[in-house]
Every structure is written in C-alpha cells, then in structure tokens.
Chains A and B, each alone.
Chain A
Amino acid sequence: MIKAILIFNNHGKPRLSKFYEHYSEDTEQQIIRETFHLVSKRDENVCNFLEGGMLIGGSDYKLIYRHYATLYFVFCVDSSESELGILDLIQVFVETLDKCFENVCELDLIFHVDKVHNILAEMVMGGMVLETNMNEIIMQVDAQNKMEKSEIKTRHILSCIPQYKIQYHSHHSCHYYGDLTVPLFQCTSRIRDH
C-alpha cells in the first residue's frame, strides 16, 4: 500500500500532497516539512530509499523518492510494495506528466495541481496501484479532459508561464525493467532526448 504521495520543491514548498489515510491539516504539513528535511539533506548520488518510519506508519514504511531538477517526488509505502517497482512508478508518473503538459516543469504543477491530481488518480487509487501503463493512463486522462472541454467551452484560460524545464537525469530512466516488461514503464525515447 502507498500511504502518501508528496511532491515538493527544493525549498520544501508543497506542490501536491495526497494522503491515503486521514491526517489533520497540521499533521499533514508537519509530515511534509519533516519529509522535506529528511530528503533534502541527501546527496544526489545516494540511494533513493529512506527508512524514516517515524513520520507515518512506523517501521514497516519506507520513503521512496526521486529528485527531478527542482522537484522531489516522494512516495511513502509499506513493505508490500516493491522498492524498485515504486521507483519506476515515479518515473512513469513524471513521464505521464511530461506528456500531458508537454514538457512539464514546476510551474505546470504549481498552476494545475488539480490536473496533476486527476492524472495521479488514474495511476494510484486509494493507496493501491491502479495502472502502470502510461498509454492507458494518458488515454483515460485525455478522454476525461475532452469531456470537460465539451461541457465548458467558454472558460478556458491558458496561462502563459515562463517554462523552467525539469531536467531528466539519464540515470533515472527505467533500467530496472528489462525487455520482458512490455506494457510497464515503457521509456519513450523522447524523454531520453532531454
């Protein structure tokens, strides 16, 4: 089970928080703060797992995170999840965001947190992984956005925001999954090109 998914930037500002268990707003903020402190202290070239169980859940829980340019993506999961699997899931999440927002950057997340939530809802539901196939996720998200557009034709504000691109580190691509895993975690060559 996934207990929480947090996205915050290099300064600890939350960009998305999704808790699959109820906490009060204050506790949530505290968890975000402490997670940020734990994660931000770590060097770039150390492992992506953290046993910071004190925050949520206890010893059975792990923090699994990835750092993309200005953003940290942190998943708090218990022992039923595969560590490497979750790392790849984060990758799929970011790739999906990249496709949906066309070259995603932090600002996309800042101004469209609702859209990010909608994308995430197609991947993870109630703390369990729902879908790992990026094409399927994008298809469903697009279909719902189309519905939305047909409902509201009037208000559609496109914000013109300077784009700070998220840099994809080459070593963050999906190398834990080999050729056998056709439907999962497909890496698009487009991302590698960044």
Chain B
Amino acid sequence: MALKIVKGSIDRMFDKNLQDLVRGIRNHKEDEAKYISTCIDEIKQELKQDNIAVKANAVCKLTYLQMLGYDVSWAAFNIVEVMSSSKFTYKRIGYLAASQCFHESTDVIMLTTNQIRKDLSSPNQYDTGVALTGLSCFVTPDLARDLANDIMTLMSHTKPYIRKKAVLIMYKVFLKYPESLRPAFPRLKEKLEDPDPGVQSAAVNVICELARRNPKNYLSLAPLFFKLMTSSTNNWVLIKIIKLFGALTPLEPRLGKKLIEPLTNLIHSTSAMSLLYECVNTVIAVLISLSSGMPNHSASIQLCVQKLRILIEDSDQNLKYLGLLAMSKILKTHPKSVQSHKDLILQCLDDKDESIRLRALDLLYGMVSKKNLMEIVKKLMLHVDKAEGTTYRDELLTKIIDICSQSNYQYITNFEWYISILVELTRLEGTRHGHLIASQMLDVAIRVKAIRVFAVAQMATLLDNAHLLTGNMQRNGICEVLYAAAWICGEFSEHLENPMQTLEAMLRPKVATLPGHIQAVYVQNAAKLFATVLKNQEGNTDSTTAQETSQLMIERLPLFVQSANLEVQERASCILQLVKYIQKLQQKDIEVAEEVSALFAGELNPVAPKAQKKVPVPEGLDLDAWINEPPSESESEDEQPKAIFSKEEPKHSRPRHTEVDEKELARRREARKQEQANNPFYIKASPSSQKVYQETAGVEHIPVVQIDLSVPLKVPGLPMSDQYVKLEEERRQKERAEKKKKEKKKRKEKRSGRGKKHDSGPESEEDITPAHMVDIVTEEMPENALPSDDDDKDPNDPHKALDIDLDNLVEAAGRRPLADSEKLPVRSHRAAEVVKSPTEDGEMESVASQEPKKKNSKEKKEKKKDKDRERKKSKDEKKKKKHKHEEKEEDLLRGQADEPVVQSEETSEVVAPPTSTSAEVSDLDFWLSTAPVPSNTQEAATVAAEAAPVPEAASGTAPASEPDEPKDTEMEETKSSKHKKKKQKKEKEEKEKKKKKKHHHHHHHSDGGGEESVQNGTVEEEEPLPPMSNYCLLAENSYIKMMMEDADQVCDIQGNLQDGSQVVVSVIFENKCDSFLKSMEFNVLDSLNCKLQRPEGSGPHDGLTVPFQLPPGVSNEARFVFTVQSIVMPQKLKGTLTFIVKNEDSSTHEKLDFKLHFTCTSYLITTPCYSDAFAKLLESGDLNGSSVRLEGINMPFHHLLARICFHHHFSVVERIDSCASMYSRSIQGHHVCLLVKTSGQTVSIDAKCDEPTLLGNVLDEIKQTFSQC
C-alpha cells in the first residue's frame, strides 16, 4: 500500500502537465497527430489512477485537446469525478472541462445533479460560483427542473458575487424549464433594484433577454425600467434598458411618446458613443411605432439623422458602419429625411471597407426614384466591373436586381434599358446568381407585354452567343440564363425576326454540354420554334423552307435522344417522332401548321408565389385527418369492443356542400371578374384562352417606341445600357421642353386673365413619364384566396415556451401564493405538494380572507376610475387569461372563496401594487397617461401624485358592488343590465342556496360556467332570475355525497392546438357522516374517446388522490381534467371513489361508484359573437340546420334565454321581442347557432351547426333541460 503511494507520487513527477503537453505539441510540428495520440494514451492511464490530482491534471490536458478538435466525450465520467473533488483547484478544472464538452445528450450529466446541488450550497462562495458557471454551459431540462429551486434560493444570497451569477443563470433555467419562470419572476424583478450594481445589471440582462422574445408580457415593467433609465449611471445597464424599450415601443405607442424626451436628453448629454448610438436606435424605433407622422416629431427625426450623419462622416470605420446601419432603419418610415443625404451614401459606396459598402448598398435600395434609378444603377454597374471579390460582386448583382424589381418594378420607366442591364449582367464571371437573372428575364418578358419584341430579340442574340456563356465550365452559374433565353424565344417566337436562325442555334451540338434541365427547355422550345416556322411558311407556295426545318430537327434531335438526362431524352424522342410524322405529311403536301401550333397554344400568366398556399381548404377536407386509422399504440388498452369505438367516431366528411360550393364559386368568380374589369393593371384574358397569341386589344394601342436595332444592341460584347441612359436623358429633356411649350401656351392663354408667375421648378417624380406605356400583369391568385399573410414563426424556437403571462403574478406577488402545481420542485417534498392538512387549509383561508378584503375597496376605487377603458379590455383579455390560468386559479380561489368576483376581475387587469408605500407605479395605463417625466426630481413628484389616489381610495366608502352578505338584498333590487353584476347575482343566489343546505362553506363556485353567458347580448332584466345551478348529484352514500358540475369546461389553449381537447370536471365532496374522511382516491375507467389526465409516470389505471381530507360535515371541491377526442356524442364514464373513514377507534376502507355523464353541452364554450359575424356565419352556408319544438313552457322569455345561456353555454347575439339568436362554440371549434322564437307556450328553436350529430345531441339536451322544469 505504502509502496503504491510512493510509486504514485514518483509517477506524478514524470507526468506531463498542461504546459508540458503544449510544449510537446509545439516540438512535434511534423507528427503532431501521432504525438497527441500517445498523449491521449498517457491520459487514459492517468485517468485510471486513484489519485485525484493525477486525474485532474489529465482532465486539464483533455480540455486543451478538446479545443484542438479532439473528441474527449469518452472521459465524461472522469470529468464528473474531478468535478466532485473537495478541493477547489480540481473542482474548477472539472467544471471547466464539463462546460467545454458536456451537452444535453451527455448521459453522465444526470449523475451530477446531487454534486452540483452540494456545490451550490457550499459555504465557500467560489465553489458555488464555479458550479454556477459550469452549469450555465451544460444545463439540461432535467438539471434545470431539479436545481431551479436551489438557484432561486441563491438569488437572495448574502454575497453579491453569488447573487449576480444566480440571477444570470436563471435565464438558462427558464429556457430549459419554462415552468420555472412564473414562480421565479417576482424575485427576479426584485433584483432589478438590488443595491449591488452587478446584480442589478444581471437582472436587467435576463429580463431584457426574456422580453426581447416575448415583449408583450413585460410591458407592465416599463415604469420600473423607466425609473432605472433615468436614475442609472451604468452605461452597460442603460444600453440594455434602452434596447429593451426599443422592443417594447412597437407594442405601446404611448410608451414611445413618453420616452422621446429623456432619450433626446441623453443624446444631447452623453459623451459615450455606444449609448448615443443605442439612444438614436430606440428613438428610431419609437418614431417607427408612431409613424402616423406626428408633426412635432420631425425634430426628433432630424436630430437622429443629423447625429447619424456625424457618425457616418467619422473617420472611425466602426461608427461609419453603425451610422449606416441605423440610417437604413429610418429609411423604412422616413425615406425623405434619408434621401437628403444621398451624396454621403453614394460616397460610402466607394469606401475601401466592404462591410461599409454593403451597408451603403442596403440604403440605396430605399433611395431610388424614377428619376435617379438609371443613374444609380449605372454607378453600381461600374462597381460590378471593378469588384474584385465574387461575394461582393454577387451582392452587387442581387442589389441591382432588388433595386430595379422592388415594388413591382415601380421605378423602371424603360424596360428596354432593364433588359439590357440584365443582359450585361450575364457577362459576369463566376456568379452564383444566374438563376436570379434568369427569373428576372422571365418575369419581365411575361409580365410586360410591350417589351416582348425587344426581349425576344435580345434573347435570340444570347442564344446565338451561348458559347460565350458556356465556354468556361467555371462560369457554370450563369448558364441558367440560357434557360430563360430559350424559353422566352420559344414561347414568344412569333416576335422573332429570324426564327430559323434561333432554332439552329438551339440545336447546336454544344448544347448537349449544358445541364439537363436547360437542355430539356431547349428541346421543348425548339419544338415551339419549329411550329412558328411552319406557321410563317404556311402561305408560302414554296415549301422548301418548312421541309428544311423539319430536316434540321430530324438531324439534330437524335443527339438529345441519347442524353443521359431522362427529361431531355423523353422530350426529344417524343418530338423527334412527331417531327418525323410531320415530315411525312409535308411530303404529301398537307397543311400541318395549324395543328402543330395548336400543340403550344395558350397564354401563360404569372402566378403569385404564395398562390398555392392561399388556396382555401375546401370545407369538409381535413388535411390532418388520417386516411386510414393509425395502428393503435398498444392493443392491450382496447378494452371496449370495436363496435363501440366505431360508433363513437362518426365520419366527418360528407359530400353535402358540393352544390353550395358551386353556387358560391360562381358568385365569387363573377365578383372577381367585376373587380378585374375595374383594375387598370389587369390585362384581360382573351375571350378564349385556347386561341394562340392573339394580340389583346390593350396591347395594340400601346405606342411602342421604335428602337433602332442597328445600335450596338446586337453585339453582346459591348455595354449597351449606357445608351439608354443617354437616350432617356434626351427623351426627358424633350418631354420637358414640350411641357414647357405647352405651359407657355397655357400661360399665354392665361396671361390675358391674370399675370401670375409660374415657375417650373425642378422635375418632380410625377413628371417623368415612362418611355412607353407598360402594363405590368399582376400575378394571379387562386379564387377565394385567403387574405391571411401569416406566420413564418419557427415552431422550434425555444423562446416560444417562455411566452408566459406574468402580469397578475407580478402584481400579486406579495399576497397571492402560486398554485401548488407551479411551485418549483423541491427535492424532499415532492409528494407533499398534493396533500394538504385541513389545518393548513384553514389558515390559508383566514389569511386570505383578511388580506384581500382590505385591498378590495382600494381596487374597486381604482377600477371605477378606469372603468370604461378597462371594461373594454377586460372583456377580451378575460377570456384568454381565464383559460390559461383556470387551473392555476383553482387553488388560489380556494383561499378566497368569499370574493369570487374580485378574483375574476383581478385576473384580467393590472392593479395597483399591494403596498402603497412602494413608489413603483404598476398600473401601466395610468403611468402612461401622465405627462412625460424628463428628470429624476420630476419623476418623484409624479410618482407621489400617482400614489396619492390609493390611500384616498382606501378610506372611501365601499362601492355598491362590494360582495358582502348584507348588500345582497340591495343588489337584488338594483335593476341593472350590466352583465357582470348579473353574473355576480347569479352566483350569490347560488351560494345562498347552498349555504342553506350546508353548515360549512368551503367550496366556491367556479367562474367557468356561466360567466359571460350574456356577454354582448341585449337581454333586459325584467325580473330577478330564479336560482340556477349546474351542480348535480353524482353519487351519494351514507358517508359521502358527490356533486358534479356537469358543465364546466375549459378549452385549454395548448391542448386545442394539438389534437385533444380538455374538459375540466369539478366535483364537490361533502362529508355526511361524523367521521373523518381521508385518503380519497378518484378513479375513472377511461374510454378510448375520453381519458382522465393523470400525472406523468402513473399508469392508465391509477387513481388520482383528492388533494384534501374532509372533517365531518365539511365539503370541498376538486377538479379533474379529462381529454376528449370526439365531442359529437355524449359520454358516460364509470368511476369509483375510494376513501378511508376514520373514527376515533377504527378506520375502514369504503368505496363509492359513480357515473360521470359528459353531455354534449359540456363541450360548448360560451363565446361572444357579434351580430355581423353571426350573420356572416349563417350566410356562409356550410352549417347544417335542425330544429326542435318545446311545448308547454310557461316561463318568461328572458328566463328561458338565461337558462339556455347558463345550462348550455350559449350567449345571446341579438334579441328582438320574442325572438333571439344565440351562439356558442365547441372546444373543437364547431359553431352552434340558435334562433329561439316563442309564441304562447310554444318555443321553437331553429339551430345550425357544422356538425349535425353534435347539434342533434345539444338540442336533445336543451329539450331535456326544459322538460325537467
């Protein structure tokens, strides 16, 4: 043993350390790889030793080798060993190695959890620091989940060194484990005001990073950031905040207005360029968001542009670059202010720095006009010639094309010029963008009819000189142009001067060296040319030319028949046989031209690139539906016989809509034609689309300018676009002169009237008329194209998961606990989350009932102030938030059973912070509505002013809506049409009713069911409604009673996006005996269609523990989530509740069976619908009708409506006398529309729905509701 130790230490003396390794590698320059492989062998030996110092040394060397590109993942376990050394030196080496080579799929990472936790809680701050640093590089979702709580604790560590690291790493934790964001956020926010600047900076950093991805969730922090911005002197923090504001302003223009002044001050006062630059950037963002063009902001734009000019003129290339970058942002909204600096930008084009030239190019894009386009492009063409690197030249090329083709060739006045530019560009060597030029040529030739003659002539020349383009294999990219040239010559061959010559050019043997797809186009278009030649020769008595052409084809085509490219081969052999046949006919002197050209008849119109995407999916076609049922994952789960399964899933597709579609289509087509007739840019199709190349009337009277083709145009070796610049200049001058003449005339005429002086100033945009009238054919879109121009969002973006609403959480951080389900997992008590002792429950309630009451009056007052504004907003928001947080609220609500109304309102609005001592103003709207605060002192004043109303409100009298018991009678009398109040009342009544029944009142009424039942309806309240309840008896025995609310559902947003939908069932458990009930377990036998959601990891037959116990006489409510696949049929599920009855002396196991009944109405969600949308829905005609008649109803009509609303989740759309329309939507998006009419005791309900089975069931259920009363 002793010997071993001695041997170990002797070995160590000869061990290489990192420095030796590096030196060794440097000394073995020739056989580095070999040397390193022997080193790795040594390292492997070292890692086998027990001595941690040796191991650490080895790992240290491995880290170095990793940097050189050697895979060291095989040593992952040894790295973990070194990480867990008790010595800091080795630990640090281990963590460094881990941070360099661990990643999510490193499997030993899961072994590190406990070690990292130990290090995080180490008394030595550097152990903790090293662990945090390492973790920040290799954190995985598992690590994030397991350690989130530990890290959160560290955020409040006494040492700022740890705090700042813990704060910073939280961002990584959020990314990997998004669930931690909500619980951790209050503390993170707290750190924004940490006394240590480093911690503060870290918190700003994290929140900025979060907010950048999902800015809307962080708007409410704007006041706090504003305060930081005006108080901080740390430029790093300032820059981050200012950048953040740049991201927030587009969402809230009022914020922008508030920012302008302090930012302007900063711009004037700061000497730090980085800060100045970011300020300018954010001011630009603000101006963009306010782009409505408020006149008093022109000063700000001027200031920005002026500052940027200073940057661009600076000798420092970095500033120049950034100045141009920012300038391009202004350009989008305020092009005029940038255009005045054109000189400067053109100057930058000559800069020696490529990055700067590229930036300047970007700017040029927005600076062109009809007037200067030719001039700018000419300049760019010069650069193209001069450019040395291909990347820059390619960039120039794309920019030229971008500039010219932007907004539908808006700035091009002379397309001949443009075509010649494109032809010139084809001479570029080694460009990758041949296809770009080609597509431009095609686009222009197709869409600008007037240019075809010219284009065809140019293309024919190109084809003739194809050898120039293809001569060098290096210039491969450019031969794409030939694709366009061949196609244009073929398609518009009637314009060709000498089709025979072009045909010959296209069939040269050299063509066979071109890429296959181009050859294919050559062959196909040779056939078109052939047809044209025949047609031209038709009248001719001498048929030799036609026969020669056929002969030429027959001679040359076999070359292509032999092609290795299938496409070429197939086309060539087809055409060859065709030509042979034609030749036969020709020899018999039969006229064939007509038939041959019929082969290629028809006009080709451009189609918009998005057209395919915009084709509406026909009704009834579900693209995601399986054509065949997928094989079930595990057969063992199929407990029910197949017959039931097929019954539960009726077929969705029906051929019913064909007739409707036909009509609708016809109507739309008509409308479209009308629209096209009125569209000056749309060239109407020739009456029969089968007719060939018939000149449309529109083209005939387009005055085509005579081109002198003897000008060098035909010589492709020479630049020719310059000619056009000159020509254009002359033309414009002539035009101007003519105009002047005309004006003079006019003036002369006018002079007799009055002697007003007319000064023809500089030529303006509008004065320039295009060289010839050009029709740009708009791209075609499919009929019924959907207007949505939606998402290109990346579904894999990890930041998507962090789109979590934080508002209500932030505001209530002090007083509202997070839902149990949201608490971060703590190592030891994971099981304890669910089970809560009754004493705890009681405590929670008492605390909760005291706390919110105090605040209640404050909030009410605040609310009243913003009532109008808020009401509008809350309507929209409530819906969203309710769904999102319903489950979370469940637990919160339990503690606040007395104030359901307050609760529901709170979720939908931003309320004042709990403590009025805090100067922080969180009511964003309120904050934004105050005047801008330029300086600190002023801000303090406003803050004080803003804080003032709060205490005032606190002392104020309780508003009428205070939901205290005594007020109830008062409430009963007030006749109000406000729905909120109505709803409140409903609840109260229900509560009262229940109170009578029960001693204790532990449950609350959830706000899911009838909340917005009459959202936008116009129901007048004539008399108080009778009490209604959705709770029905589920099962009962001598021990326990279960009440189920049959109609409380939540459409989980996420669930809905995928296939399943969620239904939440609330069950009230009431203890009817004198014993204590505990260990309640709720279990349901899942059907294929309907499954109880169980926590992860539990089997499909495990029960769910009810999260409370019941003392005698007590009742409580629990919610269970089910996933339902098909919702068109009602469902019944069998279930059992097992529980332990505990007496003083004994405890017995009991069980209770029940049947859960999911009605179809429980799948409906109350959804408000406006009457116009409703009308549209009915008009659309894709709903199926059905009706039902109810006899002997003797209740007031509004009661009837309220009942339908309450029990069946409809909302009233419109009500006229004894007739009302109602609407609801299923969780899977089916629309259900009702028309309810009453006369006497008869009520008739006409209903429409896109799912007839669902509708039938819903109507049955409505009928049943009314037969019961």
A1-B209, A118-B96, A147-B88 in contact; A125/B132 too (CB < 8 A)?
yes
Do B272 and A177 touch across chains, with their CB atoms under 8 A apart? yes
Name the distance in Å between B861's Cβ and chain A's nearest Cβ: 40
Contact between B136 and A184 (Cβ–Cβ < 8 Å)?
Answer: no
Contact A128 B164 (CB under 8 A): no
Whether A157 pairs with B17 at a CB distance below 8 angstroms is: yes
Say yes or no: B169 contacts A126, CB within 8 Å: yes
When distances are taken between beta carbons in the complex, the residues of chain A under 8 Å from B530 are none
B67 adjacent to A16 (CB under 8 Å): yes
Residues B355 and A47 in contact, CB atoms below 8 Å apart: yes
Q: Interface size bucket, B side?
A: 35 or more
Tell me whether B271 and A148 are in contact (CB under 8 A): no
B88, A151: Cβ atoms under 8 Å?
A: yes
Given A80-B212, A125-B136, the answer on whether A184 and B355 have CB atoms closer than 8 Å is no
Alpha-carbon gap, A18 to B96, bound state (A) = 10
Once A130-B168, A152-B89 are accepted as A-B contacts, the answer to whether A85 and B274 lie under 8 Å apart by CB is: yes
Give min CB distance, B312 to chain A, whole Å.
12
B69 within 8 A of A: yes
Q: How far is the CA of A45 from the CA of B69 in the complex (A)?
A: 32
Q: Which of chain B's residues have a CB closer than 8 A to the CB of A147?
A: 88-89, 124, 126
Judge whether B92 is part of the interface by a CB distance below 8 angstroms: yes
Interface string of B159-181 (1 = CB under 8 A from A): 00100110011011000000000
Q: If A46-B317, A159-B19, A176-B272 touch, does A182 touch B233 (CB 8 Å cutoff)? A: yes
Residue among B93, B103, B198 making CB contact with A136, cutoff 8 Å: B198
Neighbour of B274 across the interface among A88, A110, A131, CB < 8 A: A88
Contacts of B124 in A (CB 8 A): 147
| A125 pairs with B169, CB closer than 8 A | yes
Give every chain B residue within 8 A of A87 (Cβ-Cβ). Answer: 318
Cβ-neighbour of A184 out of B96, B236, B322 (below 8 A) = B236
B60 contact set on A, CB distance < 8 A: 114
**What's the minimum C-beta distance from A131 to chain B, rounded to whole angstroms?**
6
Question: Nearest chain A CB to B900's CB is how many angstroms away?
Answer: 42
Give min CB distance, A21 to chain B, whole Å.
Answer: 9
Q: Decide if B894 is an interface residue (CB 8 Å cutoff).
A: no
Interface size for A (C-beta < 8 A) is 64
Is B2 in contact with chain A by the CB < 8 A criterion?
no
CA distance A132 to B164 in the complex (A): 12
Please report the C-alpha to C-alpha distance between residue A159 and residue B19 in the assembled complex, in whole angstroms: 8
CB pair A46 B352 closer than 8 Å: yes
Given contacts A83-B318, A85-B239, whether A114 and B63 have CB atoms under 8 Å apart is yes
A9 lies within 8 A of chain B by Cβ: no
Query: Are B355 and A50 within 8 A (Cβ)?
Result: yes
CB distance from A31 to the nearest CB of B (A): 11
Distance between Cα atoms of A177 and B136 in the complex (Å): 29
B17 touches A180 (CB 8 A): no
Q: Closest chain B residue to A50 by CB distance?
A: B355
Residues of A within 8 A of B212 (CB): 80
Please, what's the 1-or-0 string for B70-90, where 1 marks a CB less than 8 Å from any CB in chain A?
110000000000000001110
CA distance A155 to B270 in the complex (A): 51
Q: Is the CB of A28 within 8 A of B69?
A: yes
Q: Are B126 and A80 in contact (CB under 8 A)?
A: no
- The distance in angstroms between the C-alpha atoms of A175 and B64, with both chains bound, is 35
Contact, CB under 8 Å: B239 / A140: no
Q: A193 in the interface, Cβ–Cβ < 8 Å?
A: no
With a CB–CB cut-off of 8 A, which chain B residues contact A45? 317
Q: For the complex, what is the distance from the CA of A157 to the CA of B60, rounded to whole Å?
A: 15
B69 touches A26 (CB 8 A): yes
In the complex, chain B residues whose CB is within 8 Å of the CB of A84: 273-274, 277, 318, 322
State whether A111 and B318 are in contact (beta carbons under 8 Å apart), knowing that A1-B209, A126-B172, A128-B206 are contacts in the complex. Answer: no
Given A114-B93, A125-B136, A131 and B198 touching (CB < 8 A)?
Answer: yes
**Chain B 865-878, CB within 8 Å of chain A: the 1/0 string?**
00000000000000
Cβ of B822 under 8 Å from chain A: no
User: Known contacts A85-B236, A129-B205, A144-B88: does B271 contact A179 (CB below 8 Å)?
Assistant: yes
Tell me, in angstroms, the Cα distance from A81 to B71 when the chains sit together: 31
**With an 8 A cutoff between CB atoms, is A168 at the interface?**
no
**Contact bitstring A81-99, B, C-beta under 8 A = 1, else 0:** 0111101100000000000
Given contacts A20-B137, A83-B318, are A180 and B22 in contact (CB under 8 A)? no
Give the residues in chain A near B277, CB-CB below 8 Å: 82-84
A122: min CB distance to chain B, Å:
8
Report chain B residues within 8 Å CB of A180. Answer: 233, 235, 270-272, 275
Within the assembled complex, what's the spacing in Å between the Cα atoms of A133 and B274?
17
Complex contact B318–A47 (CB within 8 A): yes
The answer to whether B208 and A121 have CB atoms under 8 Å apart is no
Contacting pair B356 A47 (CB below 8 A): yes
In Å, the complex CA distance between A151 and B206 comes to 35
Q: Report chain B residues within 8 Å CB of A133.
A: 198
Say if the beta carbon of A188 comes within 8 Å of chain B.
Answer: no
CA distance A181 to B70 in the complex (A): 42
With an 8 A cutoff between CB atoms, is B66 at the interface? yes
Residues of B contacting A14 in the complex (Cβ-Cβ under 8 angstroms): 67-68
- Smallest CB-CB separation from B22: which chain A residue? A111
Contact A49 B318 (CB under 8 A): yes
Q: Can you list, as one digit per residue, whether each of A19-47 has a CB less than 8 Å from chain B (1) or not (0)?
A: 01010011011000000000000010111
Q: Does B747 contact A (CB under 8 A)?
A: no
Determine which of B133, B236, B320 lies in contact with A129 in the assembled complex, contact meaning CB atoms within 8 Å.
B236
Q: Which of B270, B322, B352 contacts A178 (CB 8 A)?
A: B270
Residue B321 interfacial (CB < 8 Å): yes
Distance of A155 Cα from B612 Cα, bound (Å): 71
Is B554 interfacial (CB-CB < 8 Å)?
Answer: no
Quick check: is B595 within 8 A (CB to CB) of the other chain?
no
A136 to B202, alpha carbons, bound, how many Å?
A: 15
Taking CB atoms, residues of chain B closer than 8 Å to A177 are 235, 272-274
Q: Cβ of A157 and Cβ of B71 under 8 Å apart?
A: no
Q: When A180-B233, A182-B233 are in contact, do A117 and B209 touch as well, CB less than 8 Å?
A: no
Chain A residues near B (Cβ < 8 Å): 1, 14, 16-18, 20, 22, 25-26, 28-29, 43, 45-51, 80, 82-85, 87-88, 110-111, 113-114, 117-118, 121, 125-133, 136, 140, 143-144, 147-148, 151-152, 155, 157, 159, 171, 175-184
Query: Apart from A49-B318, A183-B197, what are 11 other A-B pairs with CB-CB below 8 Å?
Result: A18-B100, A22-B103, A25-B69, A46-B354, A47-B320, A80-B208, A85-B235, A85-B236, A126-B133, A130-B168, A181-B234
**Residues in B lying within 8 Å of A, measured CB to CB:** 17-19, 22-23, 26, 53, 60, 63-64, 66-71, 87-89, 92-93, 96, 100, 103-104, 124, 126, 129-130, 132-133, 136-137, 161, 164-165, 168-169, 171-172, 197-198, 201-202, 205-206, 208-209, 212, 233-236, 239, 243, 270-275, 277-278, 316-318, 320-322, 352-356, 358
Question: Can you list 25 A-B pairs, Cβ within 8 angstroms, ordered by A?
Answer: A16-B67, A18-B100, A22-B103, A25-B70, A46-B352, A46-B353, A47-B356, A48-B318, A51-B358, A83-B322, A88-B274, A110-B26, A114-B60, A125-B165, A125-B168, A126-B168, A131-B198, A143-B126, A147-B126, A151-B89, A157-B19, A177-B235, A180-B233, A180-B271, A181-B233
